[in-house]
Amino acid sequence: MKNKKDRTKLMSGPYLFWALAFIIIPLCMIFYYGLTDRSGAFTMQNIMSIATAEHSKALWLSIGLSLIATLICLLLGYPLAAILARMKNRSGIIVFIFILPMWMNFLLRTLAWQTLLEKTGVINSVLAALNLPSINIINTSYAIVLGMVYNFLPFMVLPLYNSLTRIDDNVLNAAADLGANGVQTFLKITLPLTIPGIISGITMVFVPALTTFVISKLLGGSKILLIGNVIEEQFTQTGNWHLGSGLSIVLMVFIIFNMVISAVFDKNGEGNVL
């Protein structure tokens, strides 16, 4: 027995090595850089710098835009997931079509939106041809939210779809049988039973939206800085790894907070797609 157990342990070796080399060590390095200054002495300065006007503005803007994008994804995604779930077997091809854009490069998709939204871009050319007023949302927060919704909507729909298809038809029939109308059945049965999916979807949209710097860079121009852009700047332009790491640690706290909430609500791992 013991032998067999040891062998099972051995099989996890390659992954443990991977985790050590590419997850644990980098994490330790972030903490090392985040908690030291250039001379290598311990400091809380990097972490506390989140309180400066520039950084806290970027953080709150990130949180605000991510929350808005998450809410829009939820409002768009829930009805869509409900329709897909009701289609049962025939939904396969539609889910496939829906996921198809995800196979395209993330950068490419976002660049495409840039081209579409430009002042002289495709959308405005069409609007001009139709004698309609042009829309100028490129390089604004609207464009960033649009980019977030477009890129992360599938991550909202899939866990919702999963938790909706898990509801036995007869459970909904039973609610109707006991006198509930459609709205009552939705509020008292469907919605509570899909909370794991909702929480999972929120996490899967909110976390990447909070940390993105590509979407804000391409669709927000250089005017709008999200916390992701600030951190990226520290590593690629300013070369201040210590400050960049310190801010990353702050961001991590928000993400872990979100993960804890989702773990509490989703004990059975029901909403997970991955």
Partner 1 sequence: MSKRLIELNNISKSFNGNLVLDELDLYIRENEFLTLLGPSGCGKTTTLRIIGGFETPDTGSVMFNGTDITSLPPNKRQLNTVFQKYALFTHMNIEDNIAFGLKIKGKSDKYIKDKIEYALRLVNLEGYGKRMPDSLSGGQQQRIAIARAIVNEPKVLLLDEPLGALDLKLRQDMQYELIRLKEELGITFVYVTHDQEEALTMSDTIVVMNQGYIQQIGTPEDIYNEPENAFVADFIGDSNIIDGIMLQDELVMFLGTKFPCVDTGFGTNKPVDVVIRPEDVILSPPERGSLNGVVTHLIFKGVHYEMEVQAGGYEWLVHSTTMYPVGAEVGLSVDPFNIQIMNKPASEDEEAVSIEE
Cβ-contact 190, 167 below 8 angstroms: yes
Q: Minimum distance between the CB of residue 192 and partner 1, rounded to whole angstroms?
A: 5
CB of 262 to partner 1, least distance (A): 17
Residue 63: CB minimum distance to partner 1, A: 30
Residue (14 or 192) nearer to partner 1, CB: 192
Amino acid at 110: T
Computed on alpha carbons and rounded to an integer, the radius of gyration of the chain in Å comes to: 23
Shortest distance in whole angstroms from residue 82 CB to partner 1? 18
- What number of other Cβ atoms are within 10 A of residue 33's Cβ? 19
Instruction: Choose one: 24-32, 116-124, 165-173, 251-259; the region binding partner 1 (CB under 8 A).
Output: 165-173
* Residue 42: φ, ψ to 5°: -65, 140
> For partner 1, what does the binding mask look like between residues 230 and 259, x meaning CB under 8 A?
------------------------------
Alpha-carbon separation of residue 54 from 51, 85, 173, 186, 224 (angstroms): 8, 45, 55, 44, 11
Spell out, one character per residue from 181 to 220, where the chain touches partner 1: x when CB under 8 A holds, - when not.
x--x---xx--xx---------------------------
Least Å distance between CB 174 and partner 1? 4
Tell me: does residue 269 bind partner 1 (CB under 8 A): no
Hey, which residues between 112 and 141 contact partner 1 (CB under 8 A)? Answer: none
Nearest CA among 177, 1, 132, 141 for reference residue 61: 141
Contact between 176 and 221 under an 8 Å Cβ cutoff? The reply is no
Shortest distance, CB of residue 157 to partner 1, whole angstroms?
22
Q: Is 34 exposed, middle or buried (0-12, 13-18, 19+ CB in 10 A)?
A: buried
Which CB atom, from 34 or from 196, has the smaller least distance to partner 1? 196
String of contacts with partner 1 for each residue 86-105, x by CB under 8 A: --------------------
Q: DSSP string spanning 16-85?
A: HHHHIIIIIHHHHHHHHHHTB-TTS-B-SHHHHGGGSHHHHHHHHHHHHHHHHHHHHHHHHHHHHHHHHH
The pattern of x and - marking residues 166 through 185 that bind partner 1 according to CB under 8 A reads --x-xx-xxxxxxxxx--x-
Choose between 120 and 181: whose C-beta lies nearer to partner 1. 181
- Cβ atoms of 123 and 135 within 8 Å: the answer is yes
104 vs 176, which CB is nearer to partner 1?
A: 176
Residues 245, 40: Cα–Cα separation, whole Å: 14
Footprint of partner 1 on this chain (CB under 8 A)?
Answer: 168, 170-171, 173-181, 184, 188-189, 192-193
